[in-house]
Amino acid sequence: MSECQADACELLTPMEIYKTLTAQGNKVRALKSENADKADIDTAVQLLLKMKCEYKKLTGQDYKAGCPPTEDITSPENGPGSEDGDDVVDPWNVTTNNAKGVDYDKLIVRFGSSKIDKELVDRIEKVTGQQAHRFLRRGIFFSHRDMHQVLDAYEKNKSFYLYTGRGPSSEAMHVGHLIPFIFTKWLQEVFNIPLVIQMTDDEKYLWKDLTLEECHRYTVENARDIIACGFDVNKTFIFSDLDYMGMSPSFYRNVVKVQKHVTFNQVKGIFGFTDSDCIGKISFPAIQAAPSFSSSFPQIFNGRKDVPCLIPCAIDQDPYFRMTRDVAPRIGYIKPALLHSTFFPALQGAQTKMSASDPNSSIFLTDTPKQIKNKINKHAFSGGKDTIEEHRQFGGNADVDVSFMYLTFFLDDDEQLEKIRQDYTSGALLTGELKKCLIETLQPMISAHQDRRKQVTDEIVQQFMTPRKLDFEY
């Protein structure tokens, strides 16, 4: 067949092209059955071929009558930095004008995921026989894809594995970075399943002004913090892309499969790449997709390609996995399921997430008790009133108060949290007292983390990062 040149359909969505194609197919059939002029039939067939070519270019799928395109991953709604009111959410930016933070219900609609409702939380409790983690009880993990399917299979004794990751862009990790790992550790424990953790040092090299050596070193340093969250070495494999890609033929084969089935047009639509982005960035999403397929880890899954994968991650990573879920069936794999978390707010307020590049916005895992205290007292945005008198009279606003938000992440006792909320709202509890409560929650938590991190020797890191068999029965 001749080269694809048609760009006429460039601005249409896959569904629109699909419909036009179906109409054109019908037209060709009608012309043929009418024994129409050969030249007319040829012209109509030429146009049909051109449109099929364009359809494949845009969706990566072959056009088949009666089979509309699957998840519309290039829909402009889902595009990079796409705006809904003023919320911007993509792998590189998270901002909103709302002091309460991003409107997560709208995000569910925009991304086409499902809400984690009470029914799902109850079901997780029933299946695991454990009280749901506070992140589930409090809607911090708020959205999912296909979690019911994972539970259906698990109830029939079909296990699954967990996949999460981290882009090691500096040595400095902050408390917000721990959220997915704290939750993933809980999932590993209650489901008793293996876990792979991808350290995308390649991604950070491509996106930031860092050397390969720096990125690789950050991988190892960050791995220490991740290990300090308490993962089971017999069930956890942590890998650096820079190392593992080159030594795992199975992993690289999956990367290439994904690369063959996603077009430049698609990644432009999903991630906003432009003609001047380096080609490493353009092909990187295939590398973040590959760990979603069990055949990327033959040493763990004995070459099985049908072990389902569940990915806990912050919602800004969803574009990668919309792409992954779109290609999966086309390369003979199961779509990974997802659990999405909200963002961890900056000290200055929930308009943006905590960022390691702004030291005043973050509480680092290396901070001393004194630094923690000072940062919270000085920078944590308060929903309290300007004077004690006013505060006593009118009460504070917990919905925009960063100290209160942090307590919802880290204070495990539901009753105590609710009492704090009520007392703060009524004015009985002052901002200084609320901050003190947060300081007293974070100081021991971070010291304990630092102690555990000290125990993580080079040998232990090495153990976690060696490709090997894990405890797993399917």
Residues within the interface to ligand TRP (CB under 6 A):
163-167, 198, 200, 203, 288, 311, 313, 317
Q: Which is nearer to ligand TRP, 163 or 183 (CB)?
A: 163
* Smallest distance from ligand TRP to CB 52, Å: 34
Please give the distance of CA 436 from its chain centroid, rounded to a whole number. Answer: 32
Least separation in angstroms between CB 151 and ligand TRP: 20
Nearer to ligand TRP, 187 or 313 (CB): 313
Q: Do 71 and 330 contact (CB within 8 A), yes or no?
A: no
Nearest distance from residue 335's CB to ligand TRP, in Å? Answer: 15
Residues 6+ apart with CB under 8 A from 249: none
Q: 352 with 392: CB under 8 angstroms?
A: no
* d(C-alpha 444, C-alpha 416), whole Å: 18
Rounded to the nearest whole angstrom, what is the least distance from the CB of residue 412 to ligand TRP in the complex?
24
Residue with smaller CB distance to ligand TRP, 185 or 391: 185
State in angstroms the smallest separation of the CB of 437 from ligand TRP.
30
Whole-number minimum distance, CB 309 to ligand TRP, in Å?
Answer: 10
Q: Is 164 or 254 the residue whose CB approaches ligand TRP more closely?
A: 164
Q: What is the DSSP letter of 64?
A: B
End-to-end CA distance of the chain: 45
For residue 332, give every residue at least 6 positions away whose Cβ sits within 8 Å of its Cβ, in sequence order, or none. 305
The letter for the amino acid at 124 is I
Q: How far apart are CA 432 and CA 382, in angstroms?
A: 9
User: 346 pairs with which residues across the strands?
Assistant: 349
> Contact 338/318 with Cβ under 8 angstroms?
yes
Listed in order, strand segments (DSSP E) in 316-380 are 337-341, 345-346, 349-353
Measured from the CB atom, the residue of 55 and 163 that comes closer to ligand TRP is 163
Instruction: Return the number of the residue (78 or 292) whose C-beta is nearest ligand TRP.
Output: 292
Q: Taking the complex as a whole, how short is the minimal distance between the CB of residue 365 and ligand TRP, in angstroms?
A: 16
- Which C-beta is closer to ligand TRP: that of 110 or that of 281? 281
| 3-state SS class at 172 | coil
CB of 463 to ligand TRP, least distance (A): 21
Tell the smallest beta-carbon distance from residue 324 to ligand TRP (Å).
Answer: 10
Shorter beta-carbon distance to ligand TRP: residue 288 or 403? 288
DSSP 369-437: HHHHHHHHHHHS---S-SSHHHHHHH---GGG-HHHHHHHHH---HHHHHHHHHHHHHTSS-HHHHHHH
CA distances from 239 to 31, 165, 306, 358 (A): 58, 9, 21, 27
| Cβ closest to ligand TRP, residue 18 vs residue 320 | 320
